[in-house]
Amino acid sequence: MKHMIFGESHGPAIGVVLEGVKPGLVIDMDFITGEMDRRKPGQNDLSTPRKEADSVKILSGVFEGKATGTPLCGIIENSDTRSRDYEPMKVLARPGHADYSGYIRYQGYNDHRGSGHFSGRITAPLVFAGAVAKLVLKESGVTVMARIREIAGIEDIPSRLTEEDPSILEGVAGKGFPVIDDTRGELMKEAIRKAKDEHDSVGGIIECVISGIPAGKGTPGRDSVESVLSLNMFAVPAVKGIEFGTGFDLARMRGSKANDPFQYRDGMVMTTTNNNGGINGGITNGMPVVFSVVIKPTSSIGLPQKTMNMRTLEDSDIAIEGRHDPCIVHRAVPVIEAAAALAICEVLGL
């Protein structure tokens, strides 16, 4: 499948067009609604107070509950916009945002309200596309599960699941705050609230585990499994880094510890560890594919900052007003799953 996301944060609607959806695929709207609800804003004091239903209206590609095989288009209406909050900042480059780079790229014609097409709001149609991809993967026995691994330096259980049964993540998706250890989750929430009270923000790390992919999928080089996943991850706003398996910690290990010994057990080839995240030479080895992404702190903060007027090129000060998330990590978990599902559909040729 191929997808294209369109729309702006404060436009009439945002949406996505999916091409190559398998004809006859049952489009389970109850499942899709559940996925959308995991991401939508305004559900608690940890998120932006902006209220959006995030209900998907399908315009084409579905007939009598099944995909037709023609382009599938779904839109999500924007209903709770306050564009006036952004008028004073029309020419001020907000630190950490794409205001300046977008202003140059689009010659000043881009929609600046709510960050326009650069907003995290566009991840809503991405979740819809990813939900369709999950329905496709389900038919092949592939599951995609993610959790919060860390927020503000506070870690969930320390294992990165490289040596654990991935079923440990089952049930996490049903939580409003997707961690395995709820006690550590409460500490993370306290850190988010503290940053909010101080008009600041925090970031974190999301870990994703993809199970059920057979060995031999993918190809070396630019189209490796890591490459396809990375391409999709960096299409998600706020993602600034990715690692596979044990990732950057491999730099502090010896080969004797970093290598994953193969064995044959219960009619299957597997490895005793999974430091390489289920991928060797850009190709799956049959173990769960494990990766983590870094989500930067939300760029919109209320603290005064130094910046520049993009028209006059004069120095200026800015204190961002409006409704913003003090942390987007917990809402980004279903987004990362969606992007991963779309990537694995590409890897598997689905």
Residues annotated as binding site for NADP(+)? 39
Q: Are the beta carbons of 343 and 234 closer than 8 angstroms?
A: no
The C-alpha atoms of residue 196 and residue 27 are separated, in whole angstroms, by: 39
Going by the annotation, the residues of the binding site are: 39, 117-119, 281, 296-300, 323
The C-alpha atoms of residue 165 and residue 236 are separated, in whole angstroms, by: 28
Q: Which two tokens stand for residue 212?
A: 């059920």
Provide the residue type at 281 as one letter.
G
Closest CA to 337 of 143, 149, 101: 143
Tokens 């436009």 label which residue? 11
CB atoms within 10 A of CB 240: 11
Q: Which two tokens stand for residue 40?
A: 């939508």
Q: Which two tokens stand for residue 25?
A: 């695929």
Q: Which two tokens stand for residue 348?
A: 């598997």
Pairing mode of beta strands 204-211, 143-151: antiparallel
Residues 6+ apart with CB under 8 A from 217: 225, 283, 284, 347, 348
Q: Are the beta carbons of 78 and 121 closer than 8 angstroms?
A: yes
Going by the annotation, the residues of the binding site for FMN are: 117-119, 281, 296-300, 323
At residue 144, φ and ψ (nearest 5 deg) are -125, 120
Show the CA angle centred on residue 182, arms to residues 177 and 188, nearest 5°: 65
The C-alpha atoms of residue 288 and residue 19 are separated, in whole angstroms, by: 27
Strand residues in 175-267 grouped as ranges (E): 204-211, 239-244, 262-265
Q: Are the beta carbons of 3 and 18 closer than 8 angstroms?
A: yes
